[in-house]
A and B are shown apart, each in its own frame.
Chain A
């Protein structure tokens, strides 16, 4: 989530409209089926709704959000997702060894609260 939030202020600026439309459409779907906002639903109901959302007229928006989510989840923590390399550890891939300053952009490190 943090990855997407950050990128919506940077590289994904051009997708802002698509995001707000998708969120509106998803909530509309949630209200029509469960009289509730999407976020307030239990996990199973949300999953079921997303499966409906994925197939319908919003499939393009769904695909975009899915792709961005995978970028955040599997990408480097420097962009705000994949906290403490959680996905890399799950895969058994050790986080990159520190070799010189090449591994880090100091600017990114500062925004994370220092080199780690």
Chain B
């Protein structure tokens, strides 16, 4: 059923969509924002250590719903498995208003200038589609700043000599005191001549934007903040945009396809509401912001007579280059108690090894881990300790409060065959073909991440760890919450999906705004880059498709 025409329809209310919507509303546009999930609030967060977005053993509280949203995961052995959102390999990101930003740990990194020109700096290794971004750090810098101030970022990066140039400091200081781990690791890093600093976070360290400061509790990453001190799109840009009356948010609405008319122009989207009814929302401009897996799926599911392989897929690049981050690091055991049970836990970082590994293509930041819950310590065991029984229990008893974990997101070498396709058989509860995830990590990614793990170990030793052991990654498909790369941004339509303004090649009024467009994914959590790019593209869309005043 067709609805009244609007200026833009935005699909997905995660990190990117609401920011684009806000920028369009600022230009006076009428916008509809469709979100498949619900508008959860901290009141829906039951602080369940087995049912949260970090440990979904018993399901995901913030979506997608446990049933009716399967994906197919193809292992490196070629075996395909149907998985639910709470099972391994699904690469889940939350499906709710705010997306991952409702329940994330909230690290707010700017990528480094070199991260946008990885191919120029290092050259692509065999078997990788490593390339430069068509935009530079300088293009994004003003928008990074805008995201930091409009959403609210705390921390202090002034001691990081490797960061890109910035005009303004962060709006809030770091949380204080940072905790025992910070003290211990700060000393260790300085002993090694490294440059430790305070992790920037989308988290209030002082009251900001009418909401209080972080109360330093244990229920952080994976949970919605009880006092609303974590800054996501759901409690910052979205309420502001909604207040204008120009934006309408429709929750529990799953987009089926982007509709394209005979002339090859998008005319709007077709979607299912919560009762399963089909609606057509006509719009002058369509913005796809569903995350790297779902955005690629939507473009592929929008195939029609004019674009039989899906939108933007003339050269078979949609869904390609799926990447995330390869996390590796080390654990260190100390003689004294170093765990002080104060959130957010992750406070200290170094970026000495984002590009400081001789002979290697990049690296990544290293940080201490977020505060842990007892169940999350299960994986921390060193190899010689048995997995169960009295000896295991005794080890956990000794180690829990004396152990620090340092790890970080290694920047990955993109692989063309790491990809999202449509599964030929499996469909979701609406009957829409689901994402089929397959492909390996690049071997060089693993080599780099193993070196990063050694750096983490050295850091822990310098900090006084009496025993250390490594946490390494395997070769399986990457993705996860940092999923990226599947709708690559580029100047050449033959080797990318969207142009430098994130407009889908071949279509004059369809845009992709999320980490799908990331050519490479930096050695940092990608959320602030998604947000900055959303500000940039939102502004650009408003200029390019300026509204006829009348």
Footprint of B on A, CB under 8 Å?
Answer: 7, 10-11, 47, 66, 69-71, 74-76, 78-79, 87-88, 90-94, 96, 99-100, 102-105
Chain B positions within 8 Å of A79 at CB level:
50, 58
The answer to whether A74 and B374 touch across the interface, beta carbons within 8 angstroms, is yes
The answer to whether A70 and B378 touch across the interface, beta carbons within 8 angstroms, is yes
Q: Measured between alpha carbons, how far is A48 from B219 in the docked complex, in Å?
A: 39
The answer to whether A102 and B43 touch across the interface, beta carbons within 8 angstroms, is yes
Interface of A is mostly: helix
Q: Measured between alpha carbons, how far is A61 from B226 in the docked complex, in Å?
A: 38
Q: Measured between alpha carbons, how far is A43 from B176 in the docked complex, in Å?
A: 49
Q: Measured between alpha carbons, how far is A1 from B495 in the docked complex, in Å?
A: 55
The answer to whether B48 and A102 touch across the interface, beta carbons within 8 angstroms, is no
Indicate which residue in B47, B59, B396, B400 contacts A11 across the interface (CB closer than 8 Å). B59
A102 to chain B, nearest CB (A): 6
Q: What are some 13 contacts across the A-B interface (CB < 8 A)?
A: A11-B66, A47-B389, A66-B388, A70-B378, A71-B57, A75-B57, A75-B375, A76-B48, A93-B341, A93-B400, A99-B226, A102-B45, A102-B47
Q: Which of A47, A93, A94, A104 lies at the interface centre, i.e. has the most chain B CB atoms within 10 A of its CB?
A: A93
**B42 touches A (CB below 8 Å):** yes
Q: Mark B353-396, 1 if CB is under 8 A from A, else 0.
A: 00000000000000000000111011000000001110001001
Footprint of A on B, CB under 8 Å?
Answer: 42-43, 45-50, 57-59, 66, 218-219, 226, 341, 373-375, 377-378, 387-389, 393, 396-397, 400-401
Q: Measured between alpha carbons, how far is A13 from B58 in the docked complex, in Å?
A: 12
Chain B positions within 8 Å of A66 at CB level:
387-388
Q: Measured between alpha carbons, how far is A100 from B375 in the docked complex, in Å?
A: 24
Q: Measured between alpha carbons, how far is A66 from B386 in the docked complex, in Å?
A: 12
The answer to whether A92 and B401 touch across the interface, beta carbons within 8 angstroms, is yes
A78 to chain B, nearest CB (A): 7
**A74-B375, A94-B341, A102-B226 given; 8 more Cβ-contact pairs under 8 Å:** A11-B57, A11-B66, A70-B378, A78-B48, A87-B374, A91-B377, A102-B43, A102-B46
The answer to whether A91 and B49 touch across the interface, beta carbons within 8 angstroms, is no
Q: Measured between alpha carbons, how far is A91 from B396 in the docked complex, in Å?
A: 8
The answer to whether A71 and B50 touch across the interface, beta carbons within 8 angstroms, is yes
The answer to whether A88 and B374 touch across the interface, beta carbons within 8 angstroms, is yes
The answer to whether B42 and A102 touch across the interface, beta carbons within 8 angstroms, is yes
The answer to whether A74 and B47 touch across the interface, beta carbons within 8 angstroms, is no
Q: Measured between alpha carbons, how far is A72 from B389 in the docked complex, in Å?
A: 15
Closest 5 CB pairs of A and B: A74-B375, A74-B374, A91-B400, A75-B50, A70-B378
B84 to chain A, nearest CB (A): 9
A14 to chain B, nearest CB (A): 9
Chain A positions within 8 Å of B43 at CB level:
102
Q: Measured between alpha carbons, how far is A74 from B376 in the docked complex, in Å?
A: 9
Q: A96-B47, A96-B218, A102-B42 are in contact. Are A71 and B375 (CB under 8 A)?
A: yes
Chain A positions within 8 Å of B66 at CB level:
11
The answer to whether A7 and B58 touch across the interface, beta carbons within 8 angstroms, is yes
Q: Measured between alpha carbons, how far is A104 from B401 in the docked complex, in Å?
A: 26
Indicate which residue in B46, B59, B375, B401 contacts A70 across the interface (CB closer than 8 Å). B375
